[in-house]
Structures are given as C-alpha cells and as structure tokens.
Amino acid sequence: MAIKLNAEIRGRVGKGAARGIRKNKNIPAVVYGEKKAPVAIELNGRDFEMLLQTPSLRTKLFEIDTANGHEDAMLMDIQYHPVNDTVVHVDFKRIDVKKPVNVSVPVEVVNVETSKGLKMGGVLNFAVRKVALRGLVHDIPEKITIDLTNLNIGDSVHGSDLVLPAGVELGLHQAELAFATIGGKMPDETPAAAAATTAAPATAEAKK
C-alpha cells in the first residue's frame, strides 16, 4: 500500500536554509532520479517521525504531492543527527511504477518451536537475514519467511528455495546463498536398536 505525503517546495537550499527548516521542526528532503531535475522539498517533521514506525519502509511506494505536481518515489536514505538521533535529511528516488525495482527485504524464520531438526538437538544458523528482490513496487513483500517445521539436521534453505510472490524474482547472486541451516549431529541409535543389531549375528552363529 502506498504512503501518501504532502510536501512543500523549498524556496532556498543550502545549510543555512536547512537549519531554518529543522528549527521549525520540519525536515529538508530531496526527490531525484528518472533523468529529471532534483526537487528540494520540506516534510512535516512530526508526521515523518511517526512514519518511521512503519515496518519495511524502504520497500514502500511514496506518493508525494507538492505545488509542482505528483512524484512516485521510494525512500533511499535517512540522515540522523549524530547526537540527538533526530532526522536531519531524507532522500527519495523517483520510480516508474510500471517498471521493476531492486530492493532488499528482511528474511524471517517461523515455527522454530516445531522444527524437527531443532527438536532433535540441532542448532539453527540463520546466516543471511536480507534478500535482494526484483519486481514491481506493488508486488514487493514486506518480508520473506522461512518455515522451519520440516527441516531436519543437516538441511539448508537456499535462495532458490524461498517462496516468492508472483512477479517477484531473486536479485543477482541470491539463488545459491544458504539463508538458514540446521547444524549438528543426528542422535545416536537408541540402546534397544543397538542391542538388536549386535544380537542378530550372534543368534545366527548359534544356529550353525
């Protein structure tokens, strides 16, 4: 779902102008890309700070309306103050919603408690926690999940095993990455099974 933003066009740019905007509790920003001139804008500081609570903000389409018209864009960078951690500048990149975009989304493991391998004493190695995807911005998911339920000790989930939405494909060099592995050794045989295996040759020998 797109995020709608109303923004003001900045009449002046530069450090002095940016400080004035921040003094008024707003945030200087820029929209660039798609072979068009950059547009300097000013965001409502309180509204944007609230937006930061939105999961996977960098995978969202931003519909930015200004006095100069409408911009479709994605969030590219947020700069923070080094001391008080407030937002001091935001970069947006224009996109064509009819063309695929390249983004990274988080990977999450589910059903840890019911995983066969973990219940047998295996150890989860969750090595790669983001995956590069390519697709139309409206098709990109907020995250990709890995279901551990049926994974046994020694099993791995590679990029090629991930379940992706229709129209979305892996980015370059993602297919062979091992995102999650259950390591460890298979449990030893039970005492009863081991005893039966040992007794079998002895019984056969006695019948000779």
- What span, in angstroms and rounded, lies between the C-alpha atoms of 40 and 115? 51
Rounded Cα distance, 110 and 105, in Å: 16
Per-residue pLDDT at 188 exceeds 80:
no
**Among residues 75, 68, 69, 66, which one has the least CA distance to residue 48?**
75
pTM for this prediction = 0.79
Q: Is residue 43 scored above 60 in pLDDT?
A: yes
79, 140: one domain? no
User: Does any domain span residue 134?
Assistant: yes
From 55, 74, 94, give the residue that closes a domain. Answer: 94
Burial of 128 (0-12, 13-18, 19+ CB in 10 A): middle
* Average predicted confidence (pLDDT) for the chain: 89
Domain total for the chain?
2
CATH at 13:
2.40.240.10
Query: In which domain, by residue range, is 162 found?
Result: 101-183
pLDDT in tens, 82-115: 998 899 999 999 999 999 999 999 999 999 999 9
Q: What mean pLDDT comes out for the span 116-141? A: 96
Q: How many CB atoms lie within 10 A of CB 55?
A: 9
- Decide if 10 contacts 17 (C-beta within 8 A): yes
- Beta strands 101-110 and 144-147, pairing class: parallel
- The pLDDT-based confidence of 203 (bands split at 50, 70, 90) is very low
Over pLDDT 70: what percentage of the chain? 90
Residue 26 has pLDDT above 70, yes or no: yes
Q: What is the pLDDT of residue 69?
A: 93
Q: How confident is the model at residue 186 (pLDDT cuts 50, 70, 90)?
A: confident
Distance between CA atoms of residues 149 and 137, nearest Å: 30
> Is residue 195 a part of any domain in this protein?
no
Segment 111-120, tens digit of pLDDT: 999 999 999 9
pLDDT given for residue 196 in this prediction: 52
Task: Count CA atoms within 13 Å of residue 146 on its CB side.
Answer: 29
- CATH code of the domain covering residue 136: 2.170.120.20
Q: Is the residue at 12 inside a domain? A: yes
Q: pLDDT value at position 17?
A: 84
pLDDT at 57 over 70: yes
Band of the pLDDT at 11, cuts 50, 70, 90?
Answer: confident
